[in-house]
Amino acid sequence: MTKNINLSNILTGRTYTVLGFESEASEYSQKLRKMGFVEGTKITLAPIKISDPMIFEIRGSRVALRKNEADQVKVEEV
């Protein structure tokens, strides 16, 4: 199992858990929490053939983030 990687480095077909953010107190991390990126939430990379933005499946929805935005989210493989 991979520990504590950036969301921008996840692989298609695997499930990950949100651990937190690079900067917990940033305005952007607060925005992501409101979008469902809450610690303990399962997340996967959608099987879509584009690399930037990346499309994630979280809480029954698809969310697009640029790679530099996804770099702010810490995850671990389930």
Q: How many DSSP H helices and E strands does the chain contain?
A: 2, 6
pLDDT of residue 51: 81
Give per-residue pLDDT as tens, 22-61: 887 788 899 999 999 999 999 999 998 888 899 999 999 9
Angle, CA 64 vertex, CA 53 and CA 78 arms, to 5°: 100
| Stated pTM of the model | 0.88
Domain-by-domain residue ranges, the chain? 5-77
5-77 under CATH 3.40.50.10490, yes or no: no
Q: Where are the alpha helices (DSSP H) in the chain?
A: 27-34, 67-70
Q: What is the residue whose two structure tokens read 């409101």?
A: 34
- How is residue 10 written in tokens? 């996840």
- Assign 63 a pLDDT band (cuts: 50, 70, 90): very high
